[in-house]
Amino acid sequence: VTSARPERLAGPSREVPAALLDALRAACTTHVDDALLDAHSRDWWPLALAWAHRGMTARRPAAVAEPASTEEVRAVARLCHAHRVPLTVAGGRSGVLGAAIPARGGVVLSTRALRGVVGVDAESGLVEVLAGTMGPELEDAVAPHGLVVGHHPQSFSLSTVGGWIGARGAGQYSTRVGTIAALVAGLEVVLADGTLLRLGPEPASAAGPDLASLFVGAEGTLGIVTRAWLRARPLPAARAGAAWRLPSLAAGIGAMRAALRAGATPAVLRLYDERETRRAHGGDGTWCALLVHDEAAPELVDATLAVVARCARAEGAESADPRLVDAWFAHRDDVSGLHALTARGWVIDTLEVAAPWARLAAVADGVRTAIAAVPGARSATVHVSHSYVDGACAYFTFVGDPGDGDRGHGDPGIGDLGALEALHGAMWEAGQGAALRAGATLSHHHGIGLHRARWAPEALGASLGTLAAIKRTLDPHGILNPGKWIPGDDA
């Protein structure tokens, strides 16, 4: 199969033999039309979007298989395993690091037809759901049982249960419900050779290591998640929020830390630096907004907001207009501004890491300073969200102007692409490097994918070798999502 659109990714691409294509067609719905192959050559990785704007693809698959059952997934895996052809699973393709792009070509397994809530155990609060189910479909099916799962990434309506698990994501309520890792009670997984694993569900277990967790964050490299059992809790009886003005980012971090250390876990607790506060919350650039919102049993909500208020005041906070919380809810999933900047040929991207409280302020300062020092950088800002008893996520947003003469016309040409790629690379190099040097993790919830693969050896150290050994055992021909960050996995 050849694409009329030039491919931008380097490295080998595997053809799919005609015999495999015929066998795939017999096994399940299989697409080879250009538009669908092009769509499956990209996710929301800003470089892939920039290439798509210029009529290019990252790397096209030769076919998109769309199994509608676990048995059909097993058949697809067995066939690709037998032919030693790459098989990359794609959910909503809302990942922002190229994780779902078939870097070595071959076959994409779309989970689009593998959707729906299979069952709800309302007494235990356990939801059995197929991997291709998207956020709204999941919660709409669970709500009539008086339950909510509560995993709400900004990409809620773009992403799937399998993608949440594959990328080990975190939703906006994670400070109360945990990241997706805490919500997974069990998994059904198909291995590269078609072997079927059922892991759990169980509330807890001491019967050996937790094998299900091996597939959480594996980005489709170790197995294909076909079904999950997710934990759900009763729909909240009370909701309340408050907003605070903090004199500095460090003071805000101090307040968040104290609240978490005191046992408060508000559903939403978000701190914005001065610049993001001015941009999004009407600040004048001299203070930082801290938004808190909780939803749970009324006593818990009252107690949580009281603890946060005490901790904020102890750091010099003053009360701010509580409508800031309502405004955040009204706009929290709006990404239209992002598209506008991408279409103008600007660099806009985000970088999220986790760090212990003791290092969080240094990480926030170090990363912003490093990115802002890159020639062409227009802004580098941070907010702190997703808090834990021992630390939190620092989420950076950065914008750069490659300085070409083309921007502003909504139709950037190929001429500016080198400058855009170079600036994007330099800003990442500065930011991710500074984060790792300051003691942060490689990622908090976006994962590694294609884009962060180059930092995996530095960030993961010897554990990367252990993961590679596990990969060789589970996927001896290296067919699952090859060309990414686990070494030696190329089919």
Choose the stretch contacting ligand FAD; rule: CB under 6 A; options: 147-155, 191-199, 268-276, 399-407: 147-155
Q: Which is nearer to ligand FAD, 435 or 448 (CB)?
A: 448
Question: Nearer Cβ to ligand FAD, position 164 or 287?
Answer: 164
Minimum distance from CB of 305 to ligand FAD (Å)?
A: 23
Q: Measured from the CB of residue 44, what is the shortest distance to ligand FAD in angstroms?
A: 4
Q: Does 162 bind ligand FAD (CB under 6 A)?
A: yes
Contact 30, 69 (CB under 8 A): no
What is the C-alpha to C-alpha distance for residues 167 and 164, in angstroms, rounded to an integer?
Answer: 5
In what order do the strands lie in the sheet containing 268-272?
A: 318-320, 238-246, 288-296, 268-272, 377-387, 391-400, 347-356
18: left (phi > 0), else alpha (psi -120 to 50), else beta?
alpha
Instruction: Transcribe 424-442 into DSSP letters.
Output: HHHHHHHHHHHHHHTT--S
Q: Of 88, 154, 181, 133, whose CA–CA distance to 352 is shortest?
A: 154
Instruction: Measure the CA–CA gap between 218 and 128, rounded to whole angstroms.
Output: 21
Closest distance to ligand FAD from the beta carbon of 216 (Å) = 9
* Other C-beta atoms lying within 10 Å of the C-beta of residue 378: 13
Q: Do residues 419 and 402 make contact, with C-beta atoms less than 8 angstroms apart?
A: yes
Assess 157 for contact with ligand FAD (CB under 6 A). no
Residues that bind ligand FAD (rule: CB under 6 A) add up to a total of 36
The footprint of ligand FAD on residues 32-51 (CB under 6 A) is 43-44
Query: What residues from 295 to 314 belong to the interface with ligand FAD (CB under 6 A)?
Result: none
Copy the structure tokens of residue 316.
Answer: 């010099």
Closest distance of CB 220 from ligand FAD, Å: 3
Answer yes or no whether residue 397 interacts with ligand FAD by CB under 6 A.
Answer: no
Taking phi first (over 0 means left), then psi (-120 to 50 degrees means alpha), and beta for anything else, what does residue 219 get?
left
Q: Shortest gap between Cβ of 114 and ligand FAD (angstroms)? A: 8
The residue (of 166 and 254) whose beta carbon lies closer to ligand FAD is: 166
Residue 354, both tokens = 């986790």
- Residue 346 binding ligand FAD, by CB under 6 A: no
CA 156 to chain centre: 11
**Cβ-based nearer residue to ligand FAD, 70 or 160:** 160
Q: Would you say how long the chain is, in residues?
A: 491
Q: Which stretch binds ligand FAD (CB under 6 A): 160-168, 198-206, 264-272, 290-298?
A: 160-168
Name residues contacting ligand FAD, limited to 59-98 (CB under 6 A): 88-96
Q: How far is the CB of 437 from ligand FAD (least distance, A)?
A: 24
Using CB under 6 A as the criterion, which residues of the chain lie in contact with ligand FAD when the complex forms?
43-44, 88-96, 99-100, 111, 131, 153-155, 158-160, 162-164, 166-167, 169-170, 219-220, 224-225, 335, 445-446, 481
